[in-house]
Amino acid sequence: MSFGDPNNPYGQQPPQGQPGYPQQAPQGVPPQYGYPQQPQQPGAVPQYGYPQQTPPPYGAYPPPGMHAPGMPGMPGSGMPPLAHWGLRVGATLLDGLIMAGPMYALTGIGVAVSGDESGDTIAGILSLIGMLYFLGMLFFQLYKEGTTGQTFGKKIVGISVHRELDGATLGFGMAFVRKLAHILDGAACYIGYLWPLWDEKKQTFADKVCSTVVIKVNKNG
């Protein structure tokens, strides 16, 4: 004789909550597997598997010993393209024209009006103004390059200089040191200025000493 369920002749119910007996999830609630899921906010899309990490933006400092994907000169998707030699030369010529052009123009005017005492005075004043403009523009260009990565010439052609390690801008001090390091590029028949033509990272000697790279950027950026 049986009681209750004919398939369970002993009338016993399986123990609840004991090891070895899977518990049935309430109706309408899917079973949970693997790692416990965090409570979801109303309207949030459920996440499955391991949580995804958002890569740091360009210029953010990566963890020690690691290079964030997309850093200049480093492998990774979305890596900014390195600036080729022609763009760098074009930016240098434009910067030279912006800085030295007005100075030479003022000096030329001074030479044209010189010849007497008043003309010589005007020529001296114009030459002084031209020199002050050149020096002021030189330091202003270094400030812009250190804080934004771009001089006026670099901005026009669409390139920018950054630290190779983390993609950050140089700061005024390192921009000044890099400018001095170009002395190495001019040594030995200016071979350092030609080095980006065959270098893997398209660096000059100054770039290698200061650990910097020059990349292409949006001209409107």
CA 218 to chain centre: 12
E strand or H helix that includes residue 215? strand 212-216
d(CA 90, CA 137): 18
d(CA 121, CA 77): 61
Q: Are 72 and 215 in contact (CB under 8 A)?
A: yes
- Residue 70 has what pLDDT? 47
- Residue 119 has what pLDDT? 80
Alpha-carbon separation of residue 117 from 111, 114, 121, 124 (angstroms): 13, 8, 6, 11
Q: Give exposure, 186-217, as e/b (b: 16+ Cβ within 10 Å).
A: eeeeeebbebbeeeebbbbbbbbbbebbbbbb
- Residue 218 has what pLDDT? 77
For the chain, the C-alpha Rg in angstroms (whole number) is 34
- Residue 118 has what pLDDT? 81
The CA-to-CA distance between both ends of the chain, in Å, stands at 87
Residue 12's identity, in one-letter code, is Q
For the full predicted model, state whether its pTM sits above 0.95: no
pLDDT in tens, the chain (221 residues): 444 455 555 455 555 555 555 555 555 555 554 445 555 555 555 555 545 555 555 444 444 444 444 444 444 445 589 999 999 999 999 999 999 999 999 999 988 888 777 888 888 999 999 999 999 999 999 999 999 999 999 999 999 999 998 899 999 999 999 999 999 999 888 999 999 999 999 999 999 999 999 999 976 65
- Residue 39 has what pLDDT? 54
